[in-house]
Amino acid sequence: MVAAERIARDLRGRGLRLTRQRRVILEALQNTKAHPDAYTLFRDVKRVLPRVSLATVYRTLSVLTKMGFVREVESSGPFARFDGRLDPHGHITCSACGRIADVELPDISEIPARAMVDGPFKVTGCRVELTGLCASCAGRSKRKNGARRQA
């Protein structure tokens, strides 16, 4: 989580601006653990900025991701999903409902050192993604859909 002032400064450093839309979208993402997709975020942000457009949400997510203030996480479904948390951690995705939860991995930073890469690569990042069943989906019998729009 990065403070608004630093964000504004970093953006300005690249000739970009911290607009109201960008601030609200970033805060919405930082204040949830649900790893929402763009449309879900759009609906949330609309409660604060009723005239915001989905295109702005997409463009803002693109800017914030490129700046490194936000990360895209793997999703089992067709929508890209985002995370406002930046410190090293993993995720688990429910294969029935698409829910994504955080996973703490104490030795995640040691994984690259133990990895034997097939080819000459310079490693720059590491992500660990578990799959599983959340409590509610484990309860009911297995469902059809792998990733409904819900965050």
Partner DNA sequence: GTATGTGCAAACCCTTTGCAAAGTG
Partner DNA sequence: CACTTTGCAAAGGGTTTGCACATAC
Residue 26 binds: one of a copy of itself, DNA, none (C-beta under 5 to 8 A by kind): none
Q: Which residues bind DNA (CB under 7 A)?
A: 8, 11-12, 15-22, 37-39, 49, 51-56, 58-60, 62-63, 78-80, 149
Please give the residues from 78 up to 97 whose contact with a copy of itself meets the rule CB under 8 A. 90, 92, 94-95
Contact letters (x/-) for a copy of itself, 96-115, by CB under 8 A?
A: -----xxxxxxx---xx-xx
- Calpha distance 46→39 (Å, rounded): 10
- Calpha distance 114→133 (Å, rounded): 28
Using the minimum distance from each CB to DNA, give the nearer residue, 54 or 111: 54
- Helical pair 20-30 and 54-67, crossing angle rounded to 10 deg: 70
Q: CB atoms < 10 A from the CB of 131, how many? A: 11
Using the minimum distance from each CB to a copy of itself, give the nearer residue, 16 or 92: 92
Using the minimum distance from each CB to DNA, give the nearer residue, 21 or 93: 21
- Calpha distance 11→18 (Å, rounded): 7
> Rounded to the nearest 5°, which phi and psi values hold at 39?
-70, -40
Three-class SS of 29-62: HHCCCCCCEHHHHHHHHHCCCCCCCHHHHHHHHH
Using the minimum distance from each CB to DNA, give the nearer residue, 109 or 131: 131
Instruction: Work out how close the CB of 39 gets to DNA at its nearest, in angstroms, rounded to a whole number.
Output: 6
One of 87, 113, 124, 140 touching a copy of itself (CB under 8 A): 124
Residues that bind a copy of itself (CB under 8 A): 33, 74, 90, 92, 94-95, 101-107, 111-112, 114-135, 138
